Structure 1
Amino acid sequence: MKKTLVLLAMAGAASVHAEPVTVYGQVNVSAQSSDEGEGRFSELKSNSSRFGLKGDYELEHGLKLVYQLEWAVDLADVSGGENITSRNQYVGLAGSFGEVRLGRHDTALKDAQGKIDLFSDYEADVKALWKGEVRASDSITYYTPTHKGFGLHLTYIMEDAADAEDAFSASLYYGDENLKNSNFYAAVSVDAEVNGYDTVRLQAQGKVSGVKLGAILHSQENIVTGAEQDGWLVSAAYPLGKTELKAQYQTLEDDKAISLGADYKAGKNTTLFAWYSSFNLDTPTPDRDYLAVGIKHKF
């Protein structure tokens, strides 16, 4: 039933002429050799492959309706009703006041990461060690207009139950997270009671002679136990013709992760990639490492 509804939605979008709709997505699959402490094995991984619909519609009084419906799809492991799952899905209004979105959305802290995490969607995604990578349901998202490069992103997450607590996330940022309109990006972000944690991050990324350098300072506190943990991340990407070489190092107290990789631009929207990630964990969880090659195509 879920698949049928999605296909009907996309078919309906394609038939709309008065209101243009953008259909977009990416397929990202890798062949992977994994060792998670019990011996090495091979597997195929679908790395946050996704598709969606988005658009906007001009209203009166300078207002604009905005919306997005996005789903994750697993090309490798999961089939049946679990194959398609929800990602950012919202409707909202934009105008001179900024933009308000109602629905399911990445929190301000998660969104503020920008492109600093060079291994996002893979095993070494920052969420492997850190809390704060939250896509919040029952949320209201607000983006202020930018002024001299500065902007504010706010998230309010409703309680959704009488015995629950609401939560907040906020980020003050400067520059362009894609490093296209500026050579520098920075943000300070906080979560308050988001999924059981208070979190603070300071992050920055810059481009020097074509080389991208990034860093994040991270602190998280478990609201129930009061346990505090700190960590940091550094990343670097070096262009070499159609190839980009990448390296990243992340910590959380004594837990560490190091990743090395290379992306080859095989076409305008197609990337061939290879990467290696290793985790050294100071917990009962065994150390683990991964080696992968794959292909990513955006449409």
Structure 2
Amino acid sequence: MKKMLAITVAAAFAAPAMADTTLYGKLHNAVQITDSGADGSGTQTTVSSNSSRIGVKGSEKLTDDLKAIYQIEWGLNAAENGKGLSDRNRYLGLKGSWGAVMTGRIDTPEKSVGRKVELMGDSLGDARSITSKGVADERANDVIAYMSPKMGGASFVVASVQEDGGNQTQGYSASAMYKAGGLTAGAGHTKVDGAGDTTRIVGKYDFGAGAVTALVQQDKDLSGVAGADRDVWGIGGMMKTASGAVKIQ
């Protein structure tokens, strides 16, 4: 009996060592100066923890063409006390040559499309400061998603959002991306019952020394209010320098 117990315990602790697991994180504090008044009377200086995070992700080979994939990620506030950890992406899934299936809490495909052309991600200049309204740029609970393999330069993602005990209603999100050389183009759509829908088209061209980007977005029935629509568009540019890059969007 003791021998059997020892073998069982050894196997339980040996299994994680076989997995491809990565502990990762990012601390991103920034000093931000904003001016909300024409005469400067609205100037404020703040310290912001821009999407600081810590997480674990990895995979475990099951067969020659199948592996389990997982991610657990928490957001943290590195600038203030008492904020604690918040839930970010966390999922469990399967991946093979046919693509991947994931279940859990993840960014909607439409949100991910916008991230592909973002020049100032996780900062005051992030496009989400303007685009995130209604159901746009959501991280949803109880998601079942399928990600296709890359087919040439094309790929797509479809996701079903399940009802979450009154915290969210049912919905869906889908996206398609194409990449060839320096060109990236994509489109995404999200619809949530009773909360509206959003459609987004993005493009980016990287010419080596820099890049240009564009985004067009249409939101309908914001917060479930019929006729509460809006259109959003934006352009951006980036030029590399010897020590970094100059960006505008």
How far is the alpha carbon of 1:204 from its aligned partner?
0.6
Provide structure 2 residue ranges, at least 5 long, that are not aligned to the other structure.
1-12
User: Which whole-Å CA distance do the structure 1 matches of 2:167 and 2:103 have between them?
Assistant: 22
Q: Which residue of 2 aligns with 1:114?
A: 115
Deviation at 1:135, TM superposition (A): 0.5
Residue of structure 1 in register with 2:149 after alignment: 145
Counterpart Cα distance in 2 of 1:57 and 1:187: 31
Residues in 2 aligned to 1:36 and 1:118: alpha-carbon distance in whole angstroms: 23
Q: Report matched runs for 1:179-190 at 5 Å.
A: 182-190=181-189
The alpha-carbon distance between structure 1 residues 34 and 138, as it changes in their structure 2 partners (threshold 3 A), is same
- Give the aligned residue type for 1:191: T
| Whole-angstrom distance in 1 between the partners of 2:153 and 2:23 | 30
Aligned to 2:176: 172
Q: Which runs of 4+ in 1 moved over 4 A?
A: none
Amino acid in structure 1 at the alignment position of 2:209? G
Residue deviations 1:155-186 (CA, integer Å, cap 9, x gap): 1100124797410111011017xxxxx31110
Conservation of the 8 A alpha-carbon contact between 1:92 and 1:99: yes
Which consecutive unaligned segments of at least 5 residues does structure 1 have? 1-12, 177-181, 249-299
Which residue matches 1:206? Answer: 205
- Matched residue type, 1:27: L
| Alpha-carbon contact 1:169-1:194 (below 8 Å) kept | no
* Paired residue type of 1:196: A
| Structure with more helix by fraction | 2
Q: What SS does structure 2 have at the residue aligned with 1:89?
A: strand
- Is the 2:32–2:124 Cα contact (8 Å) retained in structure 1? no
Q: Is the 8 A contact 1:117 1:125 kept in 2?
A: yes
Q: 1:1-299, aligned counterparts within 5 Å? A: 16-37=16-37, 39-60=42-63, 62-77=65-80, 79-80=81-82, 82-130=83-131, 131=133, 132-161=136-165, 165-175=169-179, 182-193=181-192, 196-222=195-221, 223-248=224-249
1:29-50 CA-to-partner distances (Å, cap 9, x unmatched) read 1122233456323221111111
- CA contact 1:168–1:194 (8 Å) conserved in 2: no
Aligned length: 228
Q: 1:84 to 1:147 in 2, by over 3 A?
A: same
Range that drifts further, 227-236 or 124-133:
124-133
Identify the structure with the greater strand proportion.
Answer: 1
- Per the normalisation by structure 2, the TM-score is 0.84
